[in-house]
Every structure is written in C-alpha cells, then in structure tokens.
C-alpha cells in the first residue's frame, strides 16, 4: 500500500510579452491513474498511488518552433518511459526517473540530428517525482525547484549555468549574477549532446510543503523574496500561479513563463519542526539491475557535470580565486550599476577587470572541455529566427 499522502497541484504557462512562440512546456501526471495533463483549469487533487506522481517543467530553445518541439518531446517521453515501468520502491523509482530523462535526451538528439529544421534544438528539464515520503528531483539546465516550508522558500536544485558556477567559485554574488552579460550560458540541455548527466536530489517532505517548479522566465525577473511574499499572501494555488506570472509580466515578461505548484499533506507526512529546513541534498539511487554506473548526484554533482571528478574551483588557478583583485573587480562593476559600493581604486580597475575576465574565460574553457557550453534561449532563438526570415539553412 502506498503511504497516505494527498496532493493538490496547479500549473500554468504564458508566452510572455516578447517572444512569438511559447517554447516552455509542463506536465502534471498521476502515473498510477495514467492521468497526464498540461491544460489545467483549476487545481487537481489526488492521493499518491503505487506508481507515483510526476511534475515537469521544460524550457525549450532552438528558435522558431524547434524549442517548442524539444520541450514537448521531453515531457511526453519522460512520462511514457516512467509509466511503462513496474511499480518500484524509491531507489528503483529514482533510477527510472533518471533513465526517463536520459531517454528523452536521446530522442530529442536524434530528431535534431536528422531534421534540418530542428537542428540544434534543446530544452532544460526539472522533474519532481514522488513514490513515498521523499521527493526525487531530476535536473538538466537552469529551470528550478523550490520548497516553501515554515515561511522560508529554499531552492533545492542547482542551476547548471556558467553564472551559478561563478557564484559557487566566489567570483560574483547571486545579486550580481542578475546583471551578468553571459547569463544565457547553460552547461547542459536535453537534445544538444548525445549524453547528459542527470543530477538527482531529494527532499524529505513535511505536511503542508509547497513545491514550486519554474522556468527562468519566472525566477529570472522575479526574485526569491518576491516569490515568497506572493506565495505567503495567496494560499489558493491557482491564484498564486496567476500572481507569480503577472509579477513576471510586470517586469516586461522577457521570456516564456511557466510555474507548477504542488502542495502535500496526509498522515504519512510528519509536521515540520521549528528549524526543519530544506536545501540541495544529492541523491544516489545506485546502479540499476544491469550494473550501469550511477549518475552523479551527490552534493558536488553539478561540479561533476562540468569538470569530471575535479571541482571547478580546483581547475581555476588559485591566485585568481584568492586574489582580492578578482572580487574587487566584480564589486566595482556592480558599483557602476548602482547596486553596491566597491572598494577598488580607479587606478587599478583595468587590472582587476582583466583578472575577472580571465577567471570567467578559464571557467568557460573548463566547461567547454568537459562537455560544451550552450548559449541558450535569447541568442539561439534570435539566430534561428533570423535565418528563417532570410531563407537560410
């Protein structure tokens, strides 16, 4: 018997104010009941069954309709693979989620390779799946998963982006990353390479937990604190989703916007403790029955996707990370935009900026050597649309 867990979920997507096509896609699925939908008029309520539930957000890229094709293929393929399997305990279920994402990558990659009009298409993918009291999250790209608990909104995924790597390397702050000129560079996407490294994480659920999946069309223009305020103010999931999307539209809606909200309850979930916090916790379900290697899903998993067995910090010359000039160069750049006060003197700004740029390009080379850098969304879309308008290949 599956544990007594109740689920209420709502999802919505919007094209935004700039893009011509909506290349985002999402899925809400009760795998046990073989119910799957991305057209939700009002919140859905159901109990957890033995085959589990699945929530997906995918942000396509590729220009024209190709990104839309990639994101649609991802949600359809992941559900089909997961639904075709037998009921599993948590570890087997997690391996199934991982394999479903890998199969989606393979299918999109082959279609992109074999169809000129869809060449280079890809999509991010954030999947949240549940078969017991522990939520399993699979991550490719920079869509996100958050958990709201005890009045705190915590991100439980790590963006697979160059900006995130620079933040973790100490070269910039999260606030400074919002104005980073290379914010569109992501390090993994489904369909762009023959293989991907799925990063798995886990969340031990508590009664009343609210899980938020969203594309960067939401978490880009809308800050975490603003999301928290809106979610605390509006407990109705449909109204909360509407408010989040409207906030992104108020910020000019520069990208497609997608959000899925899922609230969990039931006697199988303990009440949250006063200091019961959440964050990124890697999950390794081990190799499957065929003995295939486990995907990298420990807390350093994202580093593994970028720099093999060494972390990015180990690959960067330490004088670049420890030298105060790197940090000051970034701070001074922020100061010129009016967001912070830099301590750097004007006489040394050129040297400090050069060191910062060197650190950036070293990271870029590491990422490129480890598996490629993908310039996502805006730049690729504009290039493809320009080619289409001019009759190019």
Per-residue pLDDT tens for 255-291? 999 999 999 999 999 999 988 999 999 999 998 766 5
The pLDDT value recorded for residue 132 is 98
Banded model confidence at residue 245, pLDDT cuts 50, 70, 90: very high
Least confident of 63-67, 141-145, 338-342: 338-342
Cα angle for residues 120, 95, 38 (degrees, 5° grid): 55
Residue 61 pLDDT greater than 90, yes or no: yes
Residue 105 pLDDT greater than 90, yes or no: yes
Provide the token pair at 272: 């949250």
Q: How many residues does the chain have?
A: 393
Residue 306 pLDDT greater than 90, yes or no: no
Q: Under DSSP, is residue 267 helix (H, G, I), strand (E, B) or coil?
A: coil
Banded model confidence at residue 1, pLDDT cuts 50, 70, 90: confident
Output the CA torsion sign for 138, 79, 74, 25. negative
Q: Where are the beta strands (DSSP E) in 312-378?
A: 374-375
Q: Give Cβ neighbours of residue 223 (< 8 Å, ≥ 6 apart).
A: none
Strands 199-204 and 185-186, bridge-based pairing: unpaired
The pLDDT value recorded for residue 373 is 46
Q: Under DSSP, is residue 44 helix (H, G, I), strand (E, B) or coil?
A: strand
Instruction: Give me the residues paired with residue 186 across strands.
Output: 161, 374
pTM above 0.85, yes or no: no
d(C-alpha 2, C-alpha 269), whole Å: 12
d(C-alpha 171, C-alpha 191), whole Å: 30
d(C-alpha 305, C-alpha 23), whole Å: 25
The pLDDT value recorded for residue 345 is 31
pLDDT in tens, 183-224: 789 999 999 999 999 999 999 999 999 999 999 999 999 999
Residue 298 pLDDT greater than 60, yes or no: no
Tell me the pLDDT of the chain averaged across its residues.
80
Residue 342 pLDDT greater than 90, yes or no: no
The pLDDT value recorded for residue 354 is 37
Least confident of 56-70, 103-117, 165-179, 256-270: 165-179
Instruction: Give me the residues paired with residue 136 across strands.
Output: 129, 202
Q: CATH 3.60.40.10 in the chain: give the residue spans.
A: 6-298
- Name the more confident of 372 and 54: 54
Among 3.30.70.1710, 3.40.640.10, 3.30.70.580, 3.60.40.10, name the CATH number for the domain at 6-298. Answer: 3.60.40.10
User: In which residue are the tokens 């886990």 written?
Assistant: 202
Average pLDDT over residues 77-91: 96
Q: Under DSSP, is residue 40 helix (H, G, I), strand (E, B) or coil?
A: coil
Question: In terms of Cα–Cα distance, which of 5, 12, 6 is closest to 237?
Answer: 12
Banded model confidence at residue 385, pLDDT cuts 50, 70, 90: very low
- Name the more confident of 184 and 321: 184
Q: Give Cβ neighbours of residue 393 (< 8 Å, ≥ 6 apart).
A: 116, 387
Residue 78 pLDDT greater than 50, yes or no: yes
The pLDDT value recorded for residue 335 is 26
Residue 110 pLDDT greater than 50, yes or no: yes
């Amino acid at each position: 018997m599956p544990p007594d867990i109740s689920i209420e979920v709502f999802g919505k997507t919007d094209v935004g104010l700039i893009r011509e096509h909506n290349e985002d896609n999402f899925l809400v699925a009760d795998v046990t009941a073989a119910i799957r939908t991305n057209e939700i008029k009002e919140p859905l309520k159901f109990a957890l069954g033995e085959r589990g539930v699945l929530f997906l957000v995918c942000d396509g890229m590729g220009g024209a309709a190709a990104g839309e094709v990639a994101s649609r293929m991802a949600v359809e393929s992941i559900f089909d693979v997961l639904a075709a399997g037998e009921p599993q305990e948590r570890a087997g279920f997690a391996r199934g989620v991982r394999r479903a994402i890998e199969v989606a990558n393979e299918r999109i990659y082959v279609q992109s390779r074999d169809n000129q009009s869809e060449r280079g298409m890809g999509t991010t993918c954030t999947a949240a799946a549940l078969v017991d009291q522990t939520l399993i999250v699979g991550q490719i790209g920079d869509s996100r998963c958050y958990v709201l608990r005890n009045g705190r909104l915590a991100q439980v995924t790590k963006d697979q982006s160059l900006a995130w790597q620079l933040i973790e390397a100490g070269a910039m702050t999260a606030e400074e990353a919002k104005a980073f000129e290379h914010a569109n560079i992501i390090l993994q996407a489904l369909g762009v390479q023959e293989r991907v490294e799925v990063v798995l994480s886990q969340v031990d659920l508590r009664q009343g937990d609210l899980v938020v999946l969203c594309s960067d069309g939401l978490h880009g223009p809308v800050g975490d604190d603003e999301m928290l305020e809106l979610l605390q103010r509006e407990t109705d999931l449909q109204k909360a989703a509407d408010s989040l999307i409207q906030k992104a539209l108020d910020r000019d809606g520069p990208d497609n916007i997608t959000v899925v909200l899922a609230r969990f309850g039931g006697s199988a979930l303990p009440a949250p403790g006063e200091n019961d916090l959440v964050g990124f916790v890697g999950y390794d379900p081990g190799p499957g029955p065929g003995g295939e290697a486990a995907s990298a899903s420990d807390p350093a998993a994202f580093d593994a996707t970028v720099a093999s067995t060494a972390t990015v910090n180990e690959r960067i010359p330490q004088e670049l990370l420890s030298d105060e000039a790197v940090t000051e160069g970034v701070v001074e750049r922020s100061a010129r935009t009016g967001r912070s006060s830099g301590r750097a003197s004007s006489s040394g700004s050129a040297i400090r900026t050069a060191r910062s740029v060197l650190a950036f390009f070293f990271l870029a080379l590491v990422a490129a050597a480890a598996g490629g850098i993908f310039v996502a969304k805006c730049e690729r879309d504009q290039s493809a649309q320009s080619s289409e308008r001019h009759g190019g290949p």
